[in-house]
Amino acid sequence: MGSSRTIFGGQMMNLRPWIGIRGWTHADQTKNIGLAFGDLEHAPTRMFAIIVNVDDITLIEGERRARERCGEGNAHARSRPPADDIIGNKGHPGIFVNHPLILNFVSLEANEMFIWDRMEDVVERYGPLLHGIELGAMWPPVWAVQEFRERYPSLRLILRMTRDAVRALGGMDDPATPSRVGARVKEYPVTDVALNLSGPAEEGGVRFDTELVRGYLSAIRAAAPDVCLCAAGGFGAKLRTLEPFQRLITEFPDLSIAGGAAVTSVANCVDVSSAVALYRNGERIAAERAAAGVAERQFQEAKNAYNRVRQSYS
């Protein structure tokens, strides 16, 4: 399984790429999710990331208010489950799963001025099964991320970047913007960057501009080579939605991807069968690319050996 090796707090971290789904709302969705790995014909190249949405109200106003919101019939509120539903309570399992191939992430939407406090709240509430936090605030204070990283060096920190975050540094069509984004990302001691530059929804899904994303991924890789890259937006169970991943993985072999709206129901809940299909289809693409990469390296090694032999006789 591919990985990046990054030093944080004096510790070397093996950061495996992942295929993630955001928007899980109750434990019944994830209790059998380990079956996604059951009959794979190869060792998985990607981990499965369960991404749960959390916001200020979930963290500050407590369990009762969170449950009231979930019952209000608001799809946005329903997608932010109470803490007990995430970690389990009184012998009942939660959304988070203890499995060697599963990562449990919280996607945190909070005011950037209080992001450090909210990250502390996340660690306190979601406990030992938490593997990482995705920061939904647009360009949060670097000092807050730095202090948190020093205190919790084993947690993955994912900087989520949307079109709004990019526009804050320049126009989407400005050729200088990708390098500005790369330089800004370099300031953050994060493990992953999740890039979601998908355009407006079109018939059949969300528009994914592969070349636009490629340019930003390249700029981030050049500026911050140890950061794990993730592309998000528009990925679903159907193979055609994964075509951008198939094109990008040639250049970025350890690329992670995250799906959301394309695998959720009208009620804003994850459709488990679609989530499993997204993982398995994405994993197959990644495995095929990994096998092709091995074949390419073997061919190049054989070619180099042949050239050395020829030179020895010339």
Domain boundaries, the chain: 4-313
Helix (H) or strand (E) segment spanning residue 167: helix 163-167
Q: What is the mean pLDDT of the chain?
A: 82
How many beta carbons lie within 10 A of that of residue 295, not counting itself? 10
- Average pLDDT over every residue of 6-21: 66
pLDDT for 194-207, tens place per residue? Answer: 998 876 554 344 56
Query: For the segment 220-243, what is each residue's pLDDT rounded down to a tens digit?
Result: 999 999 999 999 988 888 888 899
How many CB atoms are located within 10 Å of the residue 302 CB? 10
Highest mean pLDDT out of 62-76, 83-97, 123-137: 123-137
Statement: residue 66 has pLDDT above 70: no
Q: What pLDDT was estimated at residue 168?
A: 92
Q: How far apart are CA 205 and CA 273, in angstroms?
A: 18
Class of residue 242 by CB neighbours under 10 A (exposed 0-12, middle 13-18, buried 19+): buried
State the CATH architecture for 4-313.
Answer: Alpha-Beta Barrel (3.20)
Distance CA 98, CA 283 (A): 20
| Alpha-helix runs per DSSP H in 18-152 | 56-60, 62-70, 75-78, 83-87, 115-126, 142-151
Under the banding of pLDDT at 50, 70 and 90, the label for residue 293 is low
Has residue 261 got a pLDDT over 90? Answer: no
